[in-house]
Structure 1
Amino acid sequence: MSSPTKVFCIEDDRDSADLIREDLTDRGYVVKVAYDFSAALATLAAFMPDIIVCDVNVPGMTGFEFLESARGIIQGERKIPFIFLTGNADKASIMRGHSTGADEYMLKPVDFDVLDTVIRKYTEHEEALDGTPLPFGLTRREVEVLQWSARGKTSAEISIILELGKRTVDFHIDNAREKLNVATRTEAVVRAALLNIIQL
């Protein structure tokens, strides 16, 4: 049995940080929180997380600077996925986040279903039920959502069936569409069916 995914969260708002830790811990993650970048840098190498979730605006330095410093500390180790979680919705911040090397740039308030999905996207290596890897890096949940789409279900209906938020369903569909290199949900369903990933 694989060990729990380790999440390192850097967030100076203690209430927000504690809420993130509580929710992710309830979902089975091992979560360590730092309230400032100095503490984060001091404990990063010892904790060696599987993924980092980081605010952009934390006293001492920006999240962009922290990302560069963190990558320097863990140089030579495996690439650790990095998620910015911030209220900065301006285009310049989003572009800088991606150009700095962040894997995702998510906006507050936190949608924990989406955050959970993003974390799993970067930390889980999905296999089909028979143990063979799923093609195109698809996850079981993405295949499940595509299968229900093939049956004519809307995102709202799928969210009820799978007990997920509608935004989470749309997120899975968008991920599947990108992995299958198609522009629309319908094209994703058709390609998945042609490749025998799902059944029509």
Structure 2
Amino acid sequence: MSRRILCIEDDLAIAELVEEVLVEAGFLVDRAASSPSGLARLGDAHDAILCDIDLPGQSGLDLLRTLRARGSQIPFVLLTAHAGRENQIEARRLGCDDFVAKPIDFELLLAVLNNVLQKSAPPAATAQPPVLTEREREVLAWVARGKSSTDIAEILGIRERTVNFHVDRVMRKLDVATRTQAAITCVRLGLIPG
């Protein structure tokens, strides 16, 4: 899934170049030319903000202050030709995640952006084991014991084709290539007895 970035930059040439680089890197990009228009465009779908400090009207620092006062924790990266110590201290106090100085080193910009997005990503949900039917568990329990499809069909009183159908379904559910891998994975996940 592509991450969506809001780029707030009043210099059209820079904004277009940033957008081009980010799109090539697989991001979706929305642009705004001022803090108020950026604030108006900002939505829940945005994963990060790239913002110039020196904007007409309300500065990038003012926008950052507004967002943090509203409780927004969206990653915020300042693009600036004014990366002086005072601006950096002020931005850090306001909760800025990082800086990229102008002229922009686009390789650095991508590294910074990927870093702040990684830090802000919610913890991955623990994958739930697939749900197997009673028949699938029964068939895989016999596979785990080393029985062939012919043997399993005879033991369970079903057709060999039906056995293979259940084995194939379990292999797809577990995303494995062989019946042996399916059986081992099922035992490891506690889906069948070991």
User: What one-letter code is carried by the residue in structure 2 that aligns with 1:49?
Assistant: H
The aligned runs of 1:152-163 (5 Å cut-off) are: none
Which residue number in structure 2 is paired with residue 49 of structure 1? Answer: 46
- Correspondence for 1:100: 94
Task: Please name the residue that 2:15 is paired with.
Answer: 17
Q: How does 1:34-183 map to 2 (within 5 A)?
A: 34-45=32-43, 48-73=45-70, 75=71, 79-124=73-118
* Alpha-carbon shift at residue 48 of structure 1 (Å): 3.4
Contact 2:23/2:29 (8 A) holds in 1: yes
Q: Secondary structure at the match of 1:124?
A: helix
- What is the TM-score normalised by the length of structure 1? 0.56
Larger Rg: 2
Write out per-residue CA displacement over residues 126-174 of structure 1, whole angstroms, 9 at most, x where no aligned residue: xxxxxxxxxxxxxxxxxxxxxxxxxxxxxxxxxxxxxxxxxxxxxxxxx
CA distance in 2, matches of 1:124, 1:92: 27
| Partners of 1:10 and 1:53 within 8 A in 2 | yes
In structure 2, C-alpha distance between the alignment counterparts of 1:98 and 1:92, rounded to whole Å: 10
Percent of matched pairs sharing the same residue = 32
Q: Decide whether the 8 Å contact of 1:87 with 1:109 is kept in 2.
A: yes
Structure 1 gaps, min length 5? 126-200
- 1:4, 1:98 → 2: CA distance? 28
The alignment covers a number of residue pairs equal to 120
Q: Name the residue aligned to 2:4.
A: 6
| Large movers: runs of 4+ above 4 Å | none
Q: What is the rounded CA distance, in whole Å, between the counterparts of 2:60 and 2:29 in structure 1?
A: 19
Q: CA RMSD in A?
A: 1.9
2:8–2:51 CA contact under 8 A, matched in 1: yes
> Gapped runs of 5+ residues in structure 2?
120-194
